[in-house]
């Protein structure tokens, strides 16, 4: 059996204003698996993702990453899990804030204690993985949106995470940048959880799809089976583009 990268059991969460976002979510992802997290706006997808590295503290239920419990009351636990779960946000400008690409990619490893040759190696390898090595000294704001997204991915890869979480990775990309990002994601040796409304992109890159609806898992199956169920998609406000064939 494959080792588990992620185990979520009985996860429930209500925001301080009383809005119940999750109602007992159960989710298990094997090491190296690529899973699309689908669902309408307001389904609880972001709330679930923010539990995975302790940004939102666990109120009820459990989250385990690589077998280790995510304990929001334990600083060492949170530090450890943030090494293992790398989140790439929808807007790359939320992650890029240093003067150069190289400094942005170095930020995480540096703050984790890497120095000298080890730090240089982490930065170089991460930029090579996303095809952005030649831009190491470029200011991020001089890059195209697609290039900034690739650098944002590199900032996470430099930490060598076990799980890569990507929030709407294909949004606002032109066709060429979309294809380039797909090729990069395909080449990575990492467990992937992709939050997306782009069903063709999910189908291209993931073997499995989980639909979250109103805070519960409404479906969890092979992605081809999920996307071929028109009734299920309609019920969860998901649509394939016209002319798209599975």
Of 40, 83, 33, nearest to 194 by C-alpha is: 33
What pLDDT digit, counting tens, does each position of 172-195 carry? 999 999 999 999 999 999 999 999
pLDDT grade, residue 77 (50/70/90)?
A: confident
Residue 168, pLDDT above cutoff 50: yes
Q: Distance (Å, rounded) from C-alpha 5 to C-alpha 192?
A: 10
Looking at domain 4-235, its CATH class is alpha beta
What pLDDT digit, counting tens, does each position of 213-240 carry? 999 999 999 999 999 999 999 999 999 9
pLDDT mean across residues, the chain: 94
Cβ neighbors of 198 (< 8 A, separation 6 or more) are 168, 170, 171
Q: What is the pLDDT of residue 1?
A: 45
Encoded tokens for 184 = 């990069």
What are the extents of the domains in the chain?
Answer: 4-235
Q: What is the pLDDT of residue 244?
A: 85
What pLDDT digit, counting tens, does each position of 86-145 carry? 999 999 999 999 999 999 999 999 999 999 999 999 999 999 999 999 999 999 999 999
């Amino acid at each position: 059996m494959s080792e588990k990268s992620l185990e979520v059991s009985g996860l429930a969460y209500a925001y301080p204003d009383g809005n119940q976002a999750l109602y007992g979510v159960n989710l298990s992802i094997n090491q190296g698996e690529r899973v699309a997290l689908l669902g309408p706006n307001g389904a609880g997808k972001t709330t679930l993702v923010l539990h995975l590295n302790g940004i939102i503290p666990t109120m009820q239920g459990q989250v385990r990453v690589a077998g280790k419990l995510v304990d929001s009351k334990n600083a060492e636990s949170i530090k450890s899990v943030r090494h293992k779960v790398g989140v790439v946000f929808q807007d790359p400008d939320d992650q890029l804030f240093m003067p150069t690409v190289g400094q942005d990619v170095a930020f995480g490893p540096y703050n984790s204690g890497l120095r000298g040759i080890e730090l240089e190696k982490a930065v170089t390898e991460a930029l090579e993985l996303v095809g952005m090595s030649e831009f190491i000294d470029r200011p991020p704001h001089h890059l195209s949106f697609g290039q900034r997204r690739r650098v944002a991915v590199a900032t996470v890869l430099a930490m060598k995470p076990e799980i890569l979480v990507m929030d709407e990775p294909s949004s606002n990309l032109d066709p060429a940048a979309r294809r380039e990002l797909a090729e990069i994601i395909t080449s990575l040796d990492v467990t992937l959880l992709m939050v997306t409304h782009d069903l063709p992109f999910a189908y291209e890159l993931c073997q499995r799809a989980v639909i979250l609806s109103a805070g519960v898992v409404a479906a969890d199956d092979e992605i081809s089976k999920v996307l071929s169920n028109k009734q299920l998609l309609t019920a969860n406000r998901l649509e394939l583009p016209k002319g798209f064939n599975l």
